[in-house]
Structure 1
Amino acid sequence: MSKTHQLSACPGCSEPLEPGDRFCGACGYALSAVPEPPVDRPTVALTVPPPPPPPPAPPAPPAVRAPQEPPAPQASQTAPESPAPSAHPAPPAHPAPHVPLAPPVPQEPPAPQVHGTPPPPQTPPAPQGPPAPQAPPAPPAPAPQGPPPPAQPPSPAPAPAPGPSPTQATTPAATPRPTRHGNPQGDYELAAPDPRLAPPPAGAAGAPRCVACQGGPVAADGRCRDCGHQQPRERDHMESEVEAAVAAVSDRGLRHHRNQDAYAVSTAPLPDGSAAVVAVVCDGVSSATRPDDASAAAARAADASLRAALPRGTEPRQAMHDAIVAAAGAVDALADEAAGGVSGPDGPEGHVGPDGHGGPDGHGGGDGHGGADRHRHRNAPACTVVGAVVARDLLVVGWVGDSRAYWVPDDRSAPAARLTEDDSWAAQMVAAGLMDEAQAYADERAHAITGWLGADAYEVEPHTAVFRPDRPGVVVVCTDGLWNYAEAAGDMARVLPVDAAERPLHGARVLVGHALDGGGHDNVTVALVPFPGPRAS
């Protein structure tokens, strides 16, 4: 019955109830069957963690805090009522050694449960006696209260302190570390040192660090020892500029794992005192072995040959021809090295014969005889090459393969022009009149090259051409990674910045960025040579 009086509405239909009702008048619910609500002690459960762990060691600290904490709220109330507490100096001094325990005071306000152990029965009134001596402990926690300060001055308090309190006071003093999860000995120790505080490994001061995880050391193979990320190679992105007379930029692109292109830019003095400008760009054949080594060797050899021949007075066209032959020899030498690729029945997939189908040995038509026969069944290193030399008012270009050179005048109202013809299946179809240019380059065989540098190639026949431009402009020397995104000369002129002659490096960066924005499916390399070149001093 007592429970029914506490219900204001029926639990079944929410019908209002009258005092004394045993059944709901609307639905007939038996109100006497309503279970008694559980005892709710949220405050005690949340604020009194000590009661559960009294059996273990932790009970000792709570015993000291409990008598001191309950008086905290009562101290402020009893202190102003009677001056008796101030007359007892012993209790005020007792909390002094327990100052480190002041922070836990707000966590254990249920002092009523600890009042059962009142050490000071000195005051006649039982309710006021316990709080009076215990009131002094509270002042340390609430500093702003006035009564506690006068109670703290008495120094003889340590003497009357009970036996257990000194031992407990010594315990917190000996363990000043903060407690965590009820562990009086302090925080748990880590199984391993904190990586944020651990000192760097010995000898790692000058060692390269991973660009991905920003901390792992880089092994000799270029991978991070911690995360395994492959670090950028030096050839992934390269830039060069020589006295603002020539500049080049090469980038790995967005699809390839390594950069198989290479370039060389330089200047060479001429007998008349002027300077010739040299730019060589090579594209490694992806289907061949070591294409990156082939392109690098070819670019170095061609550049060295030109810089050696031009100062001696060699005619620029002949110097270009000899430079391409020297580049071919450098690539051929790679096939004889132990690191060369293992041969197979077919050569590079991108190498085809003049008929577009390949010869009986898998590389092209012919009788299978010649100085390179011993390499015909080997997938030897291979690359293409294109070079340009600006000497006074003369422009000379030379090439083998499908790398190109373009002429873009400074006056964009004048037409631009392509200066090279590809050694490719598409170019042969157009030259033979079998397809127009649009049809040929739309075919999947369009980029299959018919000329390249390499030990498995037929006799190398360098192409050379001489031009005498009648106006200033810029020569664009590039691989197919660029011209695939600006194939026509007019397209290349539109992409090239108008100030490329004054800032060739900036212009080269813009062209490479154009290719990357278009998809970057291949390595991208371009060199810009302003025309005319440097004059005699």
Structure 2
Amino acid sequence: MKMSQKPQETALSKCPGCEEPLEPGDLFCGACGYDLSAVPAVPQDHPTIAMTAPAGGEAEVRFDRRAEPGGPGESGGPAGSSASDDFELAAPAPAGTPSADASAPAPAAAPDPRTPAVDPVAATPPAGAKRCVACRAGSVDTDGYCENCGHAQPRERDHMEQELGSVAAVSDRGLRHHRNEDSFAVSTTALPDGSPAVVAIVCDGVSSASRPDEASAAAASAANEALLESLPRGTHPQQAMHEAILAAAEAVNALAQEPARAREHDRHRHQNAPACTLVGSIMAGGLLIVGWVGDSRVYWVPDDRTNPPARLTEDDSWAAQMVAAGLMNEAEAYADERAHAITGWLGADAYDLEPHTVSFKPDRPGLVVVCTDGLWNYAESAAEMAAAVPADAHQRPLHGAQVLVGHALDGGGHDNVTVALLPFAVEPQGAGSACGTT
């Protein structure tokens, strides 16, 4: 739905948020609800983009690890260019003109022409109806727009939280993106022997692709469902993670097969197939399983902070390739504008899909941090991430996840931010390998 009430001060040919073509006088984008009343400044951002380069490299870890099962999966072609992100600027209200006669009442300030008039009686929503967050008077229709002022309402995915037993996750749109293109899934199940298994999946939509928000949601849901089916059957958790990543890839690939007429806005935005990254963790039977494709990460933070933390994944990215090849050190590579160009992702445009999976058996309790680059951009090294994790996160994982999202927002919030926390408790009879350095 498009709202054409009063002309904008600055005419735009397309929406700054989703590039949907606009008509003269539009106040809001009919596709994404972007507020067109003020022209935004272009942020200095580094969205997740895809590049056409082969992936490779082994994970740098601080635990002993077991071999990866499985091999390459499906193949395709390269993905396309990056996309910009936006934020809104508040427009100043016009000032009133004081009366020359001090004894006379001052005239009312001129109304802002961009603010629709509100009839408090006619606009008041019926009991139980959702009230508009903009005018605070109108009711919200089924499309998510105010019936009084036409303002698009915040979407449910702009901020999501979930706590399930000892695992918790939080996802936030951030301060610069016009929507949240991250997604997550957390769950618990039981192994055949009755022991618990805890799962966390985090996905980051590729901004240069079509429908990245749908891609991340489809991948997270498919991977989670695959694990909830395979783990109770007795599939080894590492093999189950490998199969779950393949299932997630199939779900994302299926989005590219949908009829073009059902996705008309794609023709105005991107032609690349939907794509996302994925990282996940399983805690089961005293093991910690990590799997990933892309540049989202898993960190290990020991409860005893005198022990060193560790990063358990290695990015499928241009920066990681430069470091692995010895062409740059890590600081130089991640300072480069190409650092966040990914070399591995899920989607019909991906190269040979090579899920990375690693199995650990920690010998001490700790916290598993599963996150997108919207968080680790502000706490890149394992030591920085450990410093950002609150001391009581093991006992209060949801609060810990909220604090970490706040850390990213305080740092600038240039990207969507998603983090899941899984406290790991060592089984009494377990005597696994010690944490060391590599």
- Please state which band the TM-score falls in when normalised by the shorter chain: 0.5 to 0.7
SS of the equivalent of 1:312 reads coil
Task: Confirm or deny that 1:404 pairs with 2:325.
Answer: no
Task: Confirm or deny that 1:293 pairs with 2:200.
Answer: no
Higher normalized helix content (fraction of residues): 1
How far residue 295 of structure 1 moved from its aligned partner, in angstroms, is: 0.2
- CA distance in 2 between partners of 1:195 and 1:460 (Å): 57
SS of the equivalent of 1:311 reads coil
Aligned twin of 1:479: 372
Aligned twin of 2:188: 267
Which has more radius of gyration?
A: 1
> What is the alpha-carbon root mean square deviation over aligned residues?
2.2
Aligned twin of 1:384: 277
Change beyond 3 A, Cα 1:434–1:195:
closer
Aligned twin of 1:232: 154
Aligned twin of 1:506: 399
Q: Greater shift after overlay, 527-536 or 380-389?
A: 527-536
- CA distance in 2 between partners of 1:501 and 1:226 (Å): 46
User: Which contiguous aligned blocks of 4+ residues in structure 1 show a shift greater than 6 angstroms?
Assistant: 341-344, 533-536
- CA distance in 1 between partners of 2:305 and 2:235 (Å): 34
Task: Confirm or deny that 1:319 pairs with 2:228.
Answer: no
How far residue 251 of structure 1 moved from its aligned partner, in angstroms, is: 0.5
How far residue 427 of structure 1 moved from its aligned partner, in angstroms, is: 0.3
Matches within 5 A, 1:121-270: 195=119, 198=121, 204-243=126-165, 245-270=166-191
| Structure 2: unaligned runs, 5 residues or longer | 1-117, 430-438
Change beyond 3 A, Cα 1:502–1:458:
same
Aligned twin of 1:132: none
Aligned twin of 2:51: none
CA contact (8 A) 2:363 2:426 kept: no
SS of the equivalent of 2:130 reads coil
Q: Which amino acid aligns with 2:161?
A: E
CA contact (8 A) 2:181 2:212 kept: yes
- CA distance in 2 between partners of 1:218 and 1:225 (Å): 6
CA contact (8 A) 1:390 1:532 kept: no
CA contact (8 A) 2:283 2:289 kept: yes
Aligned twin of 2:363: 470
Aligned twin of 1:284: 205
Change beyond 3 A, Cα 1:381–1:533:
farther
> Among residues 414, 425, 428, which one is paired with 1:532 in the alignment?
425
- CA distance in 1 between partners of 2:343 and 2:332 (Å): 18
Cα-to-partner distance string for 1:54-80 (whole Å, 9 max, x where unaligned): xxxxxxxxxxxxxxxxxxxxxxxxxxx
Aligned twin of 1:417: 310
CA contact (8 A) 2:123 2:148 kept: no
CA contact (8 A) 1:289 1:341 kept: no
Change beyond 3 A, Cα 1:204–1:534:
farther
CA contact (8 A) 1:241 1:247 kept: yes
Change beyond 3 A, Cα 1:515–1:343:
closer
- CA distance in 1 between partners of 2:295 and 2:315 (Å): 4
- CA distance in 2 between partners of 1:269 and 1:209 (Å): 42
How far residue 343 of structure 1 moved from its aligned partner, in angstroms, is: 8.5
Aligned twin of 1:309: 230
Cα-to-partner distance string for 1:240-268 (whole Å, 9 max, x where unaligned): 0111x100000011111110000000011
Aligned twin of 2:9: none
What is the count of residue pairs matched by the alignment? 309
Aligned twin of 1:448: 341
Task: Confirm or deny that 1:431 pairs with 2:324.
Answer: yes
CA contact (8 A) 1:275 1:533 kept: no
How far residue 535 of structure 1 moved from its aligned partner, in angstroms, is: 9.2
CA contact (8 A) 1:289 1:340 kept: no
CA contact (8 A) 2:168 2:401 kept: yes
CA contact (8 A) 1:408 1:475 kept: yes
Change beyond 3 A, Cα 1:421–1:475:
same
CA contact (8 A) 2:320 2:333 kept: yes
How far residue 470 of structure 1 moved from its aligned partner, in angstroms, is: 1.0
Aligned twin of 2:22: none
How far residue 305 of structure 1 moved from its aligned partner, in angstroms, is: 0.5
Q: Which amino acid aligns with 2:242?
A: H
Change beyond 3 A, Cα 1:286–1:258:
same
| Structure 1: unaligned runs, 5 residues or longer | 1-193, 349-377
CA contact (8 A) 2:204 2:372 kept: yes
How far residue 532 of structure 1 moved from its aligned partner, in angstroms, is: 2.3
- CA distance in 2 between partners of 1:269 and 1:234 (Å): 30
Q: Which amino acid aligns with 2:213?
A: D
How far residue 392 of structure 1 moved from its aligned partner, in angstroms, is: 2.5
- CA distance in 2 between partners of 1:343 and 1:249 (Å): 29
Q: Which amino acid aligns with 1:237?
A: H
- CA distance in 1 between partners of 2:264 and 2:139 (Å): 31
- CA distance in 2 between partners of 1:516 and 1:211 (Å): 22
Aligned twin of 2:249: 328
- CA distance in 2 between partners of 1:533 and 1:216 (Å): 54
- CA distance in 2 between partners of 1:385 and 1:485 (Å): 19
Q: Greater shift after overlay, 396-405 or 332-341?
A: 332-341
How far residue 200 of structure 1 moved from its aligned partner, in angstroms, is: 6.2
Matches within 5 A, 1:27-42: none
- CA distance in 2 between partners of 1:328 and 1:384 (Å): 10
